[in-house]
Chains A and B, each alone.
Chain A
Amino acid sequence: MSALRIPRRTLVLLLAASGTLALLQLSGLAFWQGLAINFAIFIILVQALNMASGFTGVFSLGHIGFMAIGAYTSAILTLPLATKSEYLPNLPGWLAGIHLDVAVGPLPVGFFAATLVAGLVAMVVAGLVGAVLMRLSGHFVAVATLGFLVIVRVVLFNADDITRGSRTFSNVTPYTNLWWAWGWAVIAIYVAWRVKFSGLGRAMFAQKADRWAARSIGISILRPRLIAFVAGAFLSAIAGSLYAHFITSFSPTVFYFDLTFRVITMLVVGGMGSVSGAVIGTALVLALAEALRRIEGATLLYGLGGILLAVFFIAVIIFRPSGIMGQREVDLDRVLGWRPRWRRGRPDAEPSRRG
């Protein structure tokens, strides 16, 4: 490939997006800043599940477990030494000595490193768990991954020395801001997009459509499934780290079924297998949930929001089972002004990419 030439349109859009974030940052509108960070974290979670499940058809209910692993790993790693010895006195020695709270100028590189380590830890766990679970089929894999989620929760609750058990884990440094959250969200979208339209992505979709046919033309089933599962675990852990340093105090109860179901709703509404659909679904469900939360607060009818969201979800499954986008995509290349190689001179070469 010759030198990378970024189209003017991409630059303009990137600048516009950065400008919006900067304005939001300067505005001091705390509610909207928080919502924007939540949006970004959910985008990462939904893209993670999209890769693990939407691309491969292997339904995972365990990825919030990886988010929990990411949140605790990063939170423990970034605790300053002084706080750590007081707060987690029984931490194993090798862990007690690490304190990724360093910064280079205004940049908290320690946080970045801790986030990456959190992602890597989740990947290792996912590799081990996935090598076993990805052999299961259909809804049994869903239940087995749910079992993984329960196991993570039980361990978090009981590993008092490391996680403080059922007590709230607080004192987390609030590193996460609009830039970190959206930086990672853009990376998550980009990674999902590149994977979808790579040879690997085609293998994922092929074994989803027909695993016997995929096998007969030599596509392995376990490998694409496992890679998708592990990549999803990495992104989920990143989202966990961002969440930990955004909310600054949390307990194991957060990382459980309600959050799992919220992420699934976003993905299914957007369209399992669609990268742009995942973003649209996230925005829609987040907005709906936020609106319903306010109605609940105003009317004191707690529970109403959960009911209406679940009804909406069932309606989507009955009346539009493939979600808003199905597996199709908004034509991002056109939006960003790219002329990808595969379409040069063949305007309709990839029908699945048209929105």
Chain B
Amino acid sequence: MDVYVIQQIVNALSAGSLYALMAVGLALIFGILRLINFAHGDVMMVAAYLAAFSLFAGLPLPVALGIMVGGTVLIGLAIERIAYRPIRGGPEVAMLLTSFAVGQILQNGTLLLTRLASQPIQIAFPTPDVLQGVVAIGRVTIPKVNVVGFGSGMVILVGVMLFLTRTRTGLSMHAAADDLPAAQLVGIRINRVVAAAFALSAALASVAGLLYASQAGQINPYLGFTPVLKAFIAAVIGGFGSIPGAVVGAYALGFLEVIPTALGGIADILPVGAVSPEIDDLLRTIFPSALGSYRDAIVFLFLILMLLFRPNGILGGGAREDVP
């Protein structure tokens, strides 16, 4: 039982790191541009493909990672320059729709390139050795990718926080998010700050892409859709646009997600005779073994409730649009 609990906690922390890497990127860009960048998940997908093809080509891991991060950053910058800059400051929905279209381009572009490379749509990800296998601590065995994911996620996030609070470029991002015209008036180069935000967010997404692909073991051009939605939920939980909030929200979501999986069918895991038959019946009714497969539905229901009752996050107050 205790082993089970520990494993679930590690799962939650590992998923939380992945969501945090994604959610910080979403929050950075939303803070400055009021743009919900749905293409962010597809940027992450592209990173996974860059890593996969670099490794297929037999490049050493550090080089492959360099190509992954560098290539993803270039793509992030190109997207900002070509698609988002012309409609900057436009209606929110127009920006959101553009990000959907950008996502479609990335998905179909990846599809096209894999076809040209005579690869199937779904390919096995060549997970690097450091992320393969399990770590055993006593009776608890944990997939290495989860340990590395959680650890590297934390290190990177701390680095991002330092960058955002200790450097002038980081502070400029905050200033632009706080008050864009005032930021311009002090002489901040908005184009550069926005580009830096996109570059940073793409770099974070590339790490998330590597972790996601290593966990899943397989990649396809459509894998970014669910993670970006999850990252969005994480950002909403933390109060959209807030960077620390996004991190807190991501780990909260990691735990929230584990709950239906962990509790679903809990009666089957308990040792026989551990609880009275009445409680066993009750557990089977409230937490049927199918609960885990409804996980995403439960999480999105939670998102809708969050948007309604605490749109400024678990820490912020309520600010729902006041409609009679």
B-binding residues in A (CB < 8 A): 57, 59, 132-140, 142-144, 146-148, 150-151, 154-155, 157-158, 211, 215, 220-222, 225, 257, 261, 264, 268, 300-307, 309-311, 313-314, 317-318, 321
Whether B308 pairs with A158 at a CB distance below 8 angstroms is no
**Shortest beta-carbon distance from A106 to chain B in Å:** 42
Whether B304 pairs with A304 at a CB distance below 8 angstroms is no
Whether A137 pairs with B112 at a CB distance below 8 angstroms is no
Q: Report A-chain residues with C-beta under 8 Å of the C-beta of B148.
A: none
Query: Complex: how many Å from CA A144 to CA B108?
Result: 26
Whether A136 pairs with B102 at a CB distance below 8 angstroms is no
Whether B112 pairs with A136 at a CB distance below 8 angstroms is no
Contact of B320 among A136, A146, A310, A318 (CB under 8 A): A136
Whether B323 pairs with A311 at a CB distance below 8 angstroms is no
Interface size range on B against A:
35 or more
**Shortest beta-carbon distance from A240 to chain B in Å:** 20
Q: Report A-chain residues with C-beta under 8 Å of the C-beta of B113.
A: 303
What mask results when residues 53 to 96 of chain B are scored 1 for a CB within 8 Å of chain A, else 0? 00000000000000000000000000000010011001111101
- Interface residue? B290 (CB, 8 A): yes
Whether A143 pairs with B307 at a CB distance below 8 angstroms is yes
Whether B324 pairs with A220 at a CB distance below 8 angstroms is yes
**Contact A318:B321 (CB < 8 A) given known A147-B304, A300-B115:** no
Which one, B136-144, B202-210, B291-299, is touching chain A?
B291-299
A-binding residues in B (CB < 8 A): 36, 83, 86-87, 90-94, 96-98, 100-102, 104-105, 107-113, 115-116, 225, 229, 232, 236, 290, 293-294, 296-297, 300-301, 303-304, 307-308, 311, 320-321, 323-324
Whether B108 pairs with A303 at a CB distance below 8 angstroms is yes
Query: Complex: how many Å from CA A53 to CA B299?
Result: 25
**Contact A306:B323 (CB < 8 A) given known A301-B115, A318-B86, A321-B94:** no
Q: Report B-chain residues with C-beta under 8 Å of the C-beta of A221.
A: 323-324
Whether B307 pairs with A142 at a CB distance below 8 angstroms is no
**Contact A303:B111 (CB < 8 A) given known A138-B92, A144-B307, A158-B293:** yes
Select from chain A the residue with minimum beta-carbon distance to B105: A310
Select from chain B the residue with minimum beta-carbon distance to A261: B100
Whether B304 pairs with A307 at a CB distance below 8 angstroms is no
Q: Report A-chain residues with C-beta under 8 Å of the C-beta of B111.
A: 302-303, 306
Whether A158 pairs with B104 at a CB distance below 8 angstroms is no
